[in-house]
Amino acid sequence: MNCSCYVLHVKKGAEDRETSIVKQFSILGLPFEWILEYDIPEITEEVLSHYKHHGTELQPEEISCCLKHFTAWEKIAASPAEGGFIFEDDALIDTARFKHIALQALSEFTADWHNLGHISFGEGCVMSVPWTQIKKGTMLYRAELVRAADSYWITKKTAQLRLQWLQQNGFCWPADHMINKIDNELDIPILWLEPTVVKQGSYCGLFGSIIQNTGRGNVLNKLTLTIKRIRRHYLYPLIGIDQRVLDNKLRSILQIEAHRAPRQRET
């Protein structure tokens, strides 16, 4: 794979996540680079001004997370590689299937989407393409929003366009919402991978969330997650709910005009 891998991390206080990432990439046999810039103490007014931060809704942890994503985009934009993977440090990668499925997905992307796009490799907050719309031989499906920002791949051109947008408009929302806003405005294809190969450790209870106090990890919350998985994966499609479509509330917050219903690109 002619791609670089970047992992967003903090310099201190997340040793369990560091150990997890090192072990996973060792099994995969893939090199990666830590993104350690912009821990909270390093965020100055000069930094905020440089990235044109505006608004007061974000917590310091969310600002730090955004800046780390932007830094990864900068590295991908400047790299000779065709694109790059970005993982948050709570990513739980299916090491047995990741490389095989990633190669297939990138091959399909190259054939159908060329040099512009974002692929969500993880299931995010237990989100999936409706099973009623899955097509044999197809792994990538168009969406209006990313599943989450925990694990994704973007092209070099996508990184460059996002950075140009930021230079003009700045940021004021969490990383996943910023991606939704930018990519919808620039008509950058957002694609969901099926089957997924990454889970979010802070969402399924392995790690505590650095940004949100989810309280997950006990038996009750794991049961709740299982119920949510069944509801979203199997029941939603039966009643016509497609999680790839921005809901009206988020669409209004991000002020994104309604697009056509997401579908696989015709080739």
pLDDT in tens, 88-98: 999 999 999 99
Residue with the bigger pLDDT between 90 and 216: it is 90
Domains delineated in the chain: 3-254 (3.90.550)
How does pLDDT run across 2-38, given as a tens digit for each residue? 789 999 999 999 999 999 999 999 999 999 999 999 9
What beta strand segments (E) does the chain contain? 3-8, 33-35, 83-88, 91-93, 118-120, 140-143, 151-155, 190-193, 198-200
Give the pLDDT of residue 38.
98
When pLDDT is cut at 50, 70 and 90, the band that residue 84 belongs to is: very high
Taking CA atoms, 172 is separated from 179, 227, 254, in Å, by: 12, 33, 10
When pLDDT is cut at 50, 70 and 90, the band that residue 161 belongs to is: very high
Give the pLDDT of residue 145.
96
Tell me how far the alpha carbon of residue 62 is from its chain's centroid: 14
Give the pLDDT of residue 218.
60
| CA atoms of 76 and 80, how far apart (whole Å) | 8
For residues 56-69, give the mean pLDDT: 94
Give the pLDDT of residue 57.
84
For residues 209-238, give the mean pLDDT: 71
| CA atoms of 112 and 33, how far apart (whole Å) | 29
Give the pLDDT of residue 210.
55
Residues 6+ positions from 201 with CB-CB distance below 8 Å: 17, 20, 90, 91, 92, 207
| CA atoms of 32 and 117, how far apart (whole Å) | 21
Rounded percentage of the chain residues whose pLDDT exceeds 90: 75
Rounded percentage of the chain residues whose pLDDT exceeds 70: 89
When pLDDT is cut at 50, 70 and 90, the band that residue 264 belongs to is: very low
Residue pair 155/82 in contact (Cβ under 8 Å)? The answer is: yes
How does pLDDT run across 233-263, given as a tens digit for each residue? 888 888 889 999 999 999 999 998 875 445 4
pLDDT at 162 over 70: yes
pLDDT at 169 over 80: yes
pLDDT at 40 over 60: yes
Dihedral, 71, 191, 82, 32 alpha carbons, nearest 10: 50
Q: How many helices (H) and strands (E) does the chain have?
A: 9, 9
| CA atoms of 239 and 169, how far apart (whole Å) | 38
When pLDDT is cut at 50, 70 and 90, the band that residue 227 belongs to is: confident
Mean pLDDT, rounded, of the chain = 90
Give the pLDDT of residue 7.
98
How does pLDDT run across 176-198, given as a tens digit for each residue? 999 999 999 999 999 999 999 99
pTM: 0.90
Residue with the bigger pLDDT between 111 and 228: it is 111
**Residue 207 carries which DSSP code?**
S
